[in-house]
Amino acid sequence: MLPQLAMGLYPQVEATGMAVLRLDPKNYLARSRMAWARYLHGRYEEAADLYRGIIRDYPSDGEMHIGLAWALIKQGKLAEARSIVLMADTILPGNARVAALKTACGG
């Protein structure tokens, strides 16, 4: 999936991820890479759904909180993004990407 992502082959990332998920429905790498591919492809709502699912299984994964917050910001859901950013800041205090999120969602 990483070479497919690097080449911008988002439909192939999706197909590979779905093949993995048929064998292992909770596979972290497949879900996180599919979320990133959907985000990069501009499918922000679908990316957010995947990020939420991963966060349910791994609530302390700051990276997935960052991904969800950006997907929400891209959808204009700033209030929801702010609550995710607060959680990300708790998990990753002082992180520069979390600081950028705070700026992007107005607080």
**pLDDT attached to residue 107:** 67
CATH of region 2-104: 1.25.40.10
Does the predicted TM-score (pTM) go above 0.85?
A: yes
Average pLDDT over residues 73-101: 95
- What is the average per-residue pLDDT within 83-97? 95
Compute the mean pLDDT over every residue in the chain, rounded to the nearest whole number.
95
DSSP characters over the chain: -HHHHHTT-HHHHHHHHHHHHHH-TT-HHHHHHHHHHHHHTT-HHHHHHHHHHHHHH-TT-HHHHHHHHHHHHHTT-HHHHHHHHHHHHHHSTT-HHHHHHHHHTT-
